[in-house]
Amino acid sequence: MTRVWPNLLLLICACGTGVDHSETSVKIEDEQVDPGDGDILGIVVTPDQVIVPVGSEIQLEALGLNTDRQTLDLTDVVSWTSSAPSIAAVSNDMSDEGVLRGMSAGTSVIVADLDGIQSAPSRITVTEADLVRLAVAQGSITVARGDTVQLSADATFSDGSTSDASSQVRWIIGDGTVAQFENAGILEGVSLGSTTARVEWDGVSSDPVPVQVVEEVMSTGGDLYFDWVSSYIEDGTFEVTVSIRNDSSTPISGIWVDLFVDKDFVPTYGDWPDWYHMVEYIGPNESTTVTFSASTSAERHDYAVLIDSMQAVLETDEDNNLVQGATDEGSGSGEDGPVEPGGTPNLLISYVGGFSEGDTTEYWVDVTNSGDGVAERFYIDVWHNRDESDEPSLFSDGDAYLLYDDGLLPGEVHFGTLTVPAVCSACGSWAMVDSYNMVSETSESDNTYFYSHGE
C-alpha cells in the first residue's frame, strides 16, 4: 500500500464525524465502505480549524481520499456550504471556489459535498480580535538541496486564541539563493548554506528561525515516541491530542499518525485507521502536536494512536509507536511510562536570572509545571527595565517573548532564554508565563516574577 499526497499543511481523514461504538469502519452518509474497494472514502477540507479576522479571506481546499490515502484535488468541483453565511461565507463562483470570507464575529461549519459524499466539517471562527503575534512553528529547519519541507505558522490574537495561519501569512526567506518558498510554507533547498525564515501578516512579523541547506539529510537511527497523550469528550466533541518527539539529531518529514477508535483488536502497521494525519516536519530533538477532533453522541471512547504507521522512518525502537487509552482516562503514556490521567496544569516561574553584555541583556526564565496535567503551549515574556510597582497584565507584550509548544509535563521544568536589545546593570525586570492565558491552570496568581539586576 502506498501513500501519495500533495504538499499540504494538514491532512486528516475524518470521513464522517460521528463515531459509533457498534461500527469498526468509517461511516460516510450512513453507508459502510470497504477500505479495500479502491473508491474515494471521503473528502477532507483543509485547513479543518482556523481563525479568520473579520474582513479577511482564506482559500480552503477539498481533497478526495481513497483507500491508499492518495489524494485528488476536488476544490473546484465540490459544492461548498456554510452553516452561517452571515459569519463565514464560502464561494462556489468559478475561479473563486472555496474562498472563505470572514463576515462577522462568530463560528461556522464549512462542508464540501460531491455526489452525496460530504466532507468532515471544517470549523471556522471569525474574530474581531487583533492579530498580536506570529511564530514559525518549527524552531529550526534543515533541508537537503533540491528537497522541500512543509513549514507551519502559528497566530495569536488579542483575546488569547491561537490558530494555524500557514495559508494566511506571507512567507519570507532571508537569502533566496540558499532557499526559496514555493507557496503556503513549502520551503525548497536551493544551494548549500544558511539563512533564516519568517512570516508576516497584517503588519505583524515573527522572529526569524534558522534554515540550513545541506547536501543530504542523513538518518542517524533515532527514535519517535509519545511525549504525552490527552483525550476527552465534552459537549458532543471527541478529541485526542498527542505530542510526538523526534529523538534524533536529524529532522524527519512525511510520517503518518493513525487514530483507531473502539477497535476490538490491537492496531499494527498496515491496519486501516478511522482518522489519520500526515506530519510534514519535526526538527531534531523537537516535538509536534497532532489533534484529532470529531462529533460524537457517545459518553466514552477507547482509542489507539500509531506513529509512523507506514514505517517511513528507521527507528532504534519500534515498540513505542503505539499508545492505547480511553477518554475517561484522560492521558496516556510517554517515553518513561504513563502520564497521570487527566489533571490540570499549573505554571509558575521558579527562577529568573540574567546579565548584560555589550548592547544586549540575556534573561534565563525557568518555568515549572507544578500541576498534575500537561501544559500544551504557552508564552514566556520579559519586560526590561520596569519598576516593581508596574506589574504587567495579561495580553500585553514584553520586550522579548518566546512560544513553548512542546507540552510541559507535570513536574517538568522548561529553561527559557530570552534576549533584549538593551543593557541594564542595576534595574528591575518582570517575567510572566502564559501571558496570553492559553493554559487553564489551578492557580493564575503565580505566573509573574520580579527580578532585580545586581542583587
pLDDT digits (tens, 9 = 90+) for 325-354: 888 775 544 444 444 445 789 999 999 998
> CA 39, CA 411: separation in Å to the nearest integer?
48
Region 117-137: what's the mean pLDDT?
88
Q: How confident is the model at residue 217 (pLDDT cuts 50, 70, 90)?
A: confident
| CA distances, 4 to each of 1, 32, 303, 310 (Å) | 10, 24, 26, 12
pLDDT of residue 341: 43
* Arithmetic mean of pLDDT, 272-291: 83
For residues 455 and 153, the model is more confident at: 153
Task: Report the 10 Å Cβ neighbour count for 248.
Answer: 20
CA proximity to 119, closest of 90, 78, 76, 89: 78
pLDDT of amino acid 334: 46
Identify the weakest region by mean pLDDT among 30-44, 106-120, 265-279, 439-453. 30-44
For residue 36, give the amino acid letter: G
Ranges 33-42, 172-181, 190-199, 278-287: which has the least confidence? 33-42
Class of domain 131-214: mainly beta
- Specify the CATH architecture of the domain 223-338: Sandwich (2.60)
Structural domain spans, the chain: 27-127, 131-214, 223-338, 347-452
Domains 131-214 and 223-338 alike in fold: yes
197 or 273, greater pLDDT: 197
> pLDDT at position 18, please?
32
Asked if the peptide bond before residue 273 counts as cis, ω within 30 degrees of 0, the response is no
CB count in 10 Å sphere of residue 130: 12
pLDDT tens track for 399-412:
999 888 878 888 88
Q: pTM for the whole thing?
A: 0.68
Q: For residue 292, what pLDDT is reported?
A: 84
Class of domain 27-127: mainly beta
* The pLDDT of residue 123 is above 50: yes
Q: Classify strands 204-205 and 193-201 as parallel, antiparallel or unpaired.
A: antiparallel
Per DSSP, what are the bridge partners of residue 261?
303
**Predicted local confidence at residue 297, as pLDDT:** 87
**Which residues, including other chains, have CB under 8 Å from residue 52's CB and lie 6 or more apart?**
58, 88, 100, 102, 124, 125, 126, 127, 168
Q: Which residue has the higher pLDDT, 30 or 362?
A: 362
Q: Which CATH superfamily is domain 347-452 in?
A: Immunoglobulins (2.60.40.10)
Q: Cα-atom radius of gyration of the chain, to the nearest Å? A: 22
CA distance 363 to 16: 49
Instruction: Determine how many CB atoms are found less than 10 A away from the CB of residue 101.
Output: 17
More confidently predicted of 24 and 340 = 340
Tell me: pLDDT of 388 over 50. Answer: yes
pLDDT class for 249, splitting at 50, 70, 90?
A: confident
d(CA 317, CA 208): 34
Task: Look at residue 280 in the predicted model and tell me its pLDDT.
Answer: 81
Q: Which has more confidence, 310 or 146?
A: 146
| Cα(43)–Cα(234) distance, integer angstroms | 25
Q: Is the pLDDT of residue 25 over 80?
A: no
| % of the chain exceeding 70 in pLDDT | 87
d(CA 426, CA 296): 58
pLDDT at 91: 96
What is the mean predicted confidence (pLDDT) over 102-121? 89
User: Which residue, among 345, 298, 346, has the nearest Cα to 326 in the 3D structure?
Assistant: 298
pLDDT (average), residues 111-127: 87
Whether 26 has a pLDDT exceeding 50, the answer reads no
Predicted pLDDT at 68: 67
Q: CA 122, CA 50: separation in Å to the nearest integer? A: 8
Q: What is the mean pLDDT of residues 118-125?
A: 83
Say how far apart CA 87 and CA 54 lie, in whole Å.
9
Residue 21 makes CB contacts below 8 A (sequence gap 6+) with 262, 298, 301
- What confidence tier does 455 reach under pLDDT thresholds 50, 70, 90? low
Cell 504587567, located at residue? 392
pLDDT tens per residue, range 66-89: 766 677 889 999 999 999 999 999
Among 25-34, 116-125, 434-443, which is the least confidently predicted range? 25-34
pLDDT in tens, 168-197: 999 999 999 999 998 788 999 999 999 999
- Mean pLDDT, to the nearest integer, of 363-384? 91
Residue 232's closest CA among 294, 288, 162? 294
Helices and strands: H and E segment counts in the chain: 0, 40
